[in-house]
A and B are shown apart, each in its own frame.
Chain A
Amino acid sequence: QKEVEQNSGPLSVPEGAIASLNCTYSDRGSQSFFWYRQYSGKSPELIMSIYSNGDKEDGRFTAQLNKASQYVSLLIRDSQPSDSATYLCAVNGLDDKIIFGKGTRLHILP
């Protein structure tokens, strides 16, 4: 069964520091990788997608992919209190659906 694993947290990071979120996946055939942010009581929102090995930067967010190690990460620079949320790692396994991890709760300490 295809799986996506994340540490549930909570991960506490001081304001202004770098938050590092990690994820591993089981299906070597996976092609597309995503990070969603979910605020408490709200629906998930897509914030980053990555398709090839290496880094992809978008503002304060950097996604990193290593297909050989089956590892995806999300770095948030200059963390803000508004970044406090649950971050879901997700993987497209090419069978009409996306597999989600259970999420990592991130808490930015003011």
Chain B
Amino acid sequence: SQTIHQWPATLVQPVGSPLSLECTVEGTSNPNLYWYRQAAGRGLQLLFYSVGIGQISSEVPQNLSASRPQDRQFILSSKKLLLSDSGFYLCAWSLNLNYGYTFGSGTRLTVV
């Protein structure tokens, strides 16, 4: 069966520090991968998605970036965090969008 791993679960980082969040999927090949952010009391904001290794589509211009170095690995990064980057970051995967996404457990990031 397929599983998705996301870490860390919580993270407190100072303003201006770098960020690296990792997501891996097991038990499948060539999944579509997604990074979402959910700010407190707000909806899910799609940040990046990838349909294959090295293929990244950005939905929102900001100080975040994403990479997909391996088929089942998706990384969200920032060189310098802003206070506004605080939120709940969710990775998701799908083989066929007709069946929806499966989300990871999420990373709660607090920038202080």
Interchain CA distance A25-B51 in the complex, whole Å? 25
| Contacting pair A102 B42 (CB below 8 A) | yes
Chain B 73-112 interface residues, beta-carbon cutoff 8 Å to A: 90, 94, 97-106, 108
| Contacting pair A44 B103 (CB below 8 A) | yes
Contacts A32-B98, A32-B100 given; does A100 touch B43 at CB 8 Å: yes
Interchain CA distance A43-B97 in the complex, whole Å? 18
| Contacting pair A96 B43 (CB below 8 A) | no
| Contacting pair B101 A32 (CB below 8 A) | no
Contacts A43-B106, A44-B103 given; does A97 touch B98 at CB 8 Å: no
Contacts A43-B105, A103-B43 given; does A49 touch B100 at CB 8 Å: yes
Is A88 interfacial (CB 8 A cutoff)?
Answer: yes
Interchain CA distance A103-B108 in the complex, whole Å? 19
Interchain CA distance A96-B105 in the complex, whole Å? 22
| Contacting pair A43 B99 (CB below 8 A) | no
Interchain CA distance A51-B96 in the complex, whole Å? 14
Interchain CA distance A34-B94 in the complex, whole Å? 14
Interchain CA distance A49-B102 in the complex, whole Å? 13
Is A45 interfacial (CB 8 A cutoff)?
Answer: yes
Is B32 interfacial (CB 8 A cutoff)?
Answer: yes
* Chain A residue at smallest Cβ distance from B97: A92
* Chain A residue at smallest Cβ distance from B105: A43
- 13 A-B residue pairs with Cβ-Cβ distance under 8 Å, sorted by A, are A32-B98, A32-B99, A32-B100, A42-B105, A43-B103, A46-B100, A88-B43, A90-B100, A92-B97, A96-B49, A96-B57, A98-B97, A102-B43
State the A residues within 8 Å of B (CB): 31-32, 34, 36, 41-46, 49, 51, 88, 90, 92, 94, 96-98, 100-103
